[in-house]
Amino acid sequence: MGIHTGSPRTSPGTSPQTSLAEDGCVGPRSPSPRPGSRSTSPLCKRTYDMYRNLVPVARSRSPSPHGGHEEHHTPQYGSNNISGVMNGFGIAQASSIPTKIVKTNQQAYPLYPENHTESYLVSCDQDVKTKPGPEPFFVIPQIWPKQLVPGICSIPVASLPPLEWPLPSRTDQYELHIEVQPKPHHRAHYETEGSRGAVKAPTGGHPVVQLRGYRGKEPLGLQIFIGTADERILKPHAFYQVHRITGKTVTTTSYEKIISSTKVLEIPLEPKNNMKAIIDCAGILKLRNADIELRKGETDIGRKNTRVRLVFRVHIPQPGGQHVSLQAASHPIECSQRSAHELPMVEKQDMDACSVLGGQQMILTGQNFSADSKVIFMEKTHDGQQIWELEATVDKDKSQASMLFIEVPPYRDPSICHPAKVNFYVINGKRKRSQPQHFTYMPLPVPSIKKEPVDEYESGRMGYSMSQMLGVSPQPYYNPRGVIPPESGLVPGLVPCQQTRLGVSPPDHRFQQQSPAIMYSRPGKSLSSSPIYSQTGATMIPDSHRSVLVHTGSPAQSSHLAGQHPSNQHPSIIQFSPTNHHLLRGGDPPAPPPPEHQHIIYCEGYNQHGPQATGANRSPAPAQAPQHPQNYPTVIQQQPFLQRVAKDRSPPVQVEPQRCSSTEEQRTSVPGRVTVKQENLDQAYLDDGE
């Protein structure tokens, strides 16, 4: 197997992490004081109580299995309190500029300790076998290669969208596609363990990612990090980090860097390989919950938070110095040891919607199903209260360990007028239940009412193409204040209020497929949480028709808020304005993000393409975005402009009866004569603010 780039686990290295940690209250504690004996004393094991009195500096005592170079680069660990693994090293950043240069004949990437948000830790695919010194160093190849990944190296990280920002997986020109998904289970390793290897594909190979539509000759860099896989917006996972695997069997060049406390692996996407990369170099490192939970500002909990996704990003240079950023996330990967053997896991369902009457057969594909497996359908309210539960009938004769044949039970209310999103899970026994899966009950057809699908996610299931959707039913943007022009190039990526209100998310692996916009970043202009940048950017492009995406609060914050308020999955808002007047909304009652967390992104592509981009054959990015818009913790507002788009789309659509949700009404409202009932707006407003 591959060589792991790290200290032997039996002989813990002397990484700065280790030494620092051991200087802390935890004290030195060999993982195995005597070879062959298990450490039995809990004395040195930290408790939550201990953490309460801990200063952030000395939390991690464990030797890092990471590459020796990493360890010695540790002082470079970027910035904002590198996460738990690296926690407490912010003070070392002052010395983040390497003081040594090491020459090697190995091919290497140049290191770019560009700024405080990014540090390159490892230079090349094969670790340079040099004696580690106490100081950080650059690794310079004997023959400096041409920029293998100019897309990476030439773009200041500050000008790239933050990792927690949602991005589309495709635009009208490009698509970042995961050709081979990873296995649904991968046991992550702790720092105290040796690597558990690279994430593999179900077939035994490795995940494969391809950038489609790229015609350039220059290689690009593909970024990989570990993202969340829960119900909320995709963001870097606080409790897991990507781990670089190298060795003989690893064919993919890779190197690491840290971006805003998240370890990111970068590998080249080369035209000669058809812009395809085999991800055989990415393992998953588990950080101890206690370490992370104590991190300042961390609101997530680690317990039972063991599902992750591999997130891939690419930044494609555009003429004029801009970049198109794409992101694709894998199916969820269960990372815990226990659940890999015990918990049932649904990987696929052959249908995700049916009539309220139920009765249809559904085939669940997954793992750890048993003869005793039950499938429970349930529905919860916004605030998490379960209001309905019903067991589906399992066809035990047909079912196997990896397949369950069930009969969808009828929904509790057959008279609903809009789709009802519910969850179901497989349960093998006491507490051995799968992650909730998503299912939608469709209302019975009402002949007199011309209904439309709720969102593209569902429309997709029902055979609608995006172009159909765009042509017929531009998704309105919910504006609690009453201005809802649904048309613009950004239409497909926006969040209709119904999803917001329903608060039920589609299957995880599709979460990331939604994004409000293509991200065009401007080199040199930080998109990070800087109000200065926002303003600067705003004045840079005084085009009155330019769409400005104002994100009040970082997605991470949003997630946190959502985490604190389960019923509020949409704490932030994205507003569009033809001017640079940002309509900051007051709909985030729990904790309005501080102004310094506003972001502005210029969606020039949309500006340029405007109406065309929303046309039937346009912009797959926005087209894809709304597939599961309900997962965005955002509500999007748009000022009334670009209504010209309305002309060539949206045949008259009958408006839903008022008894149905306001969203339905808005959805079916004709652009240009939007009529939204105030009470419905209020309702959505309230929902959003819950």
Partner DNA sequence: AGAAAAATGTGGAACTTGGGA
Partner DNA sequence: GCTCCCAAGTTCCACATTTTT
CB-based contact 78:261 (threshold 8 Å): yes
Q: How far is the CB of 390 from DNA (least distance, A)?
A: 21
Is 32 a binding residue for DNA by CB under 7 A? The answer is yes
Question: 680 vs 94, 180, 253, 659, CA distance in Å?
Answer: 53, 43, 54, 10
Position 40 contacts DNA (CB under 7 A):
yes
What are the residues whose beta carbons fall under 8 Å from the beta carbon of 390, sequence distance 6 or more? Answer: 376, 377, 378, 409, 410, 412
Least distance CB 113 / DNA (angstroms): 25
- Residue closer to DNA, measured from CB, 85 or 674: 85
Q: Does 52 bind DNA (CB under 7 A)?
A: no
**Candidate residues 62, 79, 367, 399; the one interacting with DNA per rule CB under 7 A:** 62
Among 219, 302, 443, 460, binds DNA (CB under 7 A): 302
The distance of closest approach from Cβ of residue 197 to DNA in the complex, given in angstroms and rounded to an integer, is: 2
Q: Tell me how far, at minimum, the Cβ of 306 lies from DNA, in Å.
A: 5
Q: Is the dihedral of CA 627, 303, 288, 568 positive or negative?
A: positive
DSSP symbols for 501-514: HH-----GGGGGG-
- Measure CA of the first residue to CA of the last residue in the chain; give whole Å: 51
For DNA, give the closer residue by CB, 61 or 438.
61
Phi, psi of 677 (to 5 degrees): -70, 135
In the complex, minimum distance from the CB of residue 37 to DNA, in angstroms, rounded to a whole number: 4
Q: Which is nearer to DNA, 195 or 253 (CB)?
A: 195
- Two structure tokens written together for 271: 């035209």
Q: Please report whether residue 48 would count as binding DNA according to CB under 7 A.
A: yes
Does 367 engage in binding with DNA (CB under 7 A)? no
Instruction: Choose which of 59, 170, 196, 451 interacts with DNA (CB under 7 A).
Output: 196
Nearest CA to 57 out of 260, 219, 295, 220 is that of: 295
Task: State the greatest distance between any 2 C-alpha atoms of the chain, in Å, as a whole number.
Answer: 79
- Cβ–Cβ < 8 Å for 212, 175: yes
Q: How many whole angstroms separate alpha carbon 683 and alpha carbon 690?
A: 10
State the number of binding residues for DNA (CB under 7 A): 63
Q: Is 70 in the site for DNA (CB under 7 A)?
A: no
Subset of 324-353 contacting DNA (CB under 7 A): 336-339, 341-343
- Interactions with DNA, residue window 467-526 (CB under 7 A): none
Q: What is the dihedral of CA 325, 328, 333, 335, to 10 degrees?
A: -10
Query: Should residue 436 be labelled a site residue for DNA when binding is judged by CB under 7 A?
Result: no
Q: Could you say whether residue 37 binds DNA (CB under 7 A)?
A: yes
Residue whose C-alpha is closest to residue 491's, from 630, 606, 328:
606
Could you tell me where the beta strands, DSSP code E, fall in 518-633?
A: 519-521, 548-552, 572-577, 598-602
Determine if 401 is a binding residue for DNA (CB under 7 A): no
Kindly identify the residues of this chain, within the stretch 242-271, that bind DNA according to CB under 7 A: 245, 247-249
CB of 230 to DNA, least distance (A): 12
Question: CA quadruple 252, 329, 573, 624: dihedral positive or negative?
Answer: positive
Contacts for 107 with CB less than 8 Å, ≥ 6 apart: 124, 125, 126, 141, 145, 253
User: Which of 100, 129, 450, 647 touches DNA (CB under 7 A)?
Assistant: 129
Nearest distance in Å: CB 285, DNA: 11
Residues 6+ apart with CB under 8 A from 91: 57
Residues ≥6 apart with Cβ < 8 Å to 132: 68, 69, 71, 72
Binding DNA (rule: CB under 7 A), the pick from 31, 56, 213, 317 is: 31
The CB-of-96 to DNA minimum distance in angstroms stands at 25
> Tokens 């918990």 appear where?
343
Residue with Cβ nearer DNA (42 or 447) = 42
Closest to DNA by CB, 294 vs 549, is 294
Residue whose CB is less far from DNA, 5 or 634: 5
Long-range CB pairs of 340-343, under 8 A, 24+ apart, other chains included: 340/185, 340/187, 341/368, 342/368, 342/428, 342/432, 343/368, 343/428, 343/432, 343/433, 343/434
Site string for DNA, 78-117 (x = CB under 7 A): ----------------------------------------
Q: Which is nearer to DNA, 8 or 657 (CB)?
A: 8
What is the rounded distance in angstroms from the CA atom of residue 682 to the CA atom of residue 675?
14
CA dist., res. 88 & res. 24, Å (int): 11
Pick between residue 21 and residue 394 the one whose CB is nearest to DNA: 21
Instruction: Identify the three-state secondary structure at position 377.
Output: strand
- Measured in degrees and rounded to the nearest 5, phi and psi for residue 682 equal -60, -40
Question: Among residues 289, 367, 423, 624, which is the contact residue for DNA, using CB under 7 A?
Answer: 289
Q: Contact between 5 and DNA (CB under 7 A)?
A: yes
Nearer to DNA, 19 or 192 (CB): 192
Q: At closest approach, how far in Å is the CB of 452 from DNA?
A: 40
Minimum gap (Å) between residue 340 Cβ and DNA: 8
Please select the residue that binds DNA; options are 66, 257, 286, 509, rule is CB under 7 A.
286
According to CB under 7 A, which one of 2, 56, 523, 615 is a site residue for DNA? 2
Segment interacting with DNA (CB under 7 A) among 37-45, 347-355, 597-605, 662-670: 37-45
Positions touching DNA (CB under 7 A) are: 1-11, 29-32, 35-42, 45, 47-49, 62, 129, 187, 189-198, 245, 247-249, 286, 288-290, 302-306, 336-339, 341-343, 430-432
